[in-house]
Amino acid sequence: MNKTAIITGITGQDGSYLAELLLEKDYKVVGLYRRSSSYHFERISSIVDHPNLTLLEFDLTDPSVILSILKQYEPDEFYNLAAMSHVGTSFHQPSTTFDINTMGVLHILEGIRTTSSATKYYQASTSEMFGKNYSVDKNNNKYQDENTPLIPQSPYAVSKVASHNLVRIYRYAYNIFATSGILFNHESPRRGENFLTRKVTKYIGQLVNNKTSDNLKLGNLQAYRDWGHAKDYVYAMYLMLQQDVPDDFVICTGQTHSVLNFVIKSFESVDLDYKQYVEIDPSLYRPAEVDYLCGRSLKAQKVLGWIPSTSFDDLVSEMIQSDIKVYANV
């Protein structure tokens, strides 16, 4: 019998890669997407007509819709990837952020508890939950893992900490198979254009193809991030729900790079000097910054057998070449 999986946020970066993975494994996939005036199926264009894929409109803030879908499909697995996920926007829309990222999770967990208790649930947690906090090893190296205390620095991160704790509570209080993946930054050519990495690679794609003469405006270049490839990370999500016992896992590369390093590497890949094109815009600084993220995924390596397969340099190169190709055809 084919397994059935529900994916919220299927039209996003992670949702599209996960849907492809599960369809390759002969799952029946029910993809949930938010209603809008126009459809944005570009990321799932290669699978949109797949016979095992069903697409449904839904709203995370409406518990009756979630309950109805759970009753109808009785999924083996439920991957919640939908979120208001832009950190900067969360400062301007904190209420909306909480409605989607926290109350939405509560609605799903309640639905599983009351109508579909055998469903395995995956929650997309985030390294942003650590905020300014980190652990230090005996060699004075800074890192974050499953035991590092969470000190969030944005409404987005606070909403994710709340839902992360809800997953833990429902796991122990109601014996639900509920797990959270604490994913560090993960990118790809499918990354949204308002996120920093894609903003950089899109600009270079336009620049190389003579489609822009403006400067690239960026904020804080001194923040450090642990960047991996989204395709690697969705495989870790899948592995988490194949376990016999639910738990939470940090997913990361274990290497950190500054935003400045990402920018330099991106421009150098096309033999350009970033200093000629980048302009610092103070309005793009966050009200409260997360300065340093560098994960340790020893638990995921040991329990899941997961390790990342894409290097930082290969990730940058893939994103740059993709955007150069995109804007060559625009």
Which residues are catalytically annotated?
126, 128, 156
pLDDT of residue 39: 74
* Residue-by-residue DSSP string for 124-135: EEEGGGGTT--E
Which band of pLDDT confidence, cut at 50, 70 and 90, is reported for residue 37? low
Tokens 């395995």 belong to residue: 120
CATH number attached to the domain at 4-187+229-255: 3.40.50.720
pLDDT of residue 65: 95
pTM over 0.95: yes
Calculate the CA 201 to chain-centre distance. Answer: 18
Q: Is 152 helix (H, G, I), strand (E, B) or coil?
A: coil
pLDDT tens track for 130-180: 999 999 999 999 999 999 999 999 999 999 999 999 999 999 999 999 999
> Could you give the CA distance from residue 53 to residue 212 in angstroms, rounded to a whole number?
39
Contact 204, 273 (CB under 8 A): no
Structure tokens given for 23: 């369809």
Architecture of domain 196-223+257-291+310-328: Alpha-Beta Complex (3.90)
Which band of pLDDT confidence, cut at 50, 70 and 90, is reported for residue 35? confident
> Could you give the CA distance from residue 41 to residue 93 in angstroms, rounded to a whole number?
25
pLDDT of residue 183: 98
Domain range summary for the chain, segments of one domain joined by +: 4-187+229-255, 196-223+257-291+310-328
pLDDT tens track for 207-252: 999 999 999 999 999 999 999 999 999 999 999 999 999 999 999 9
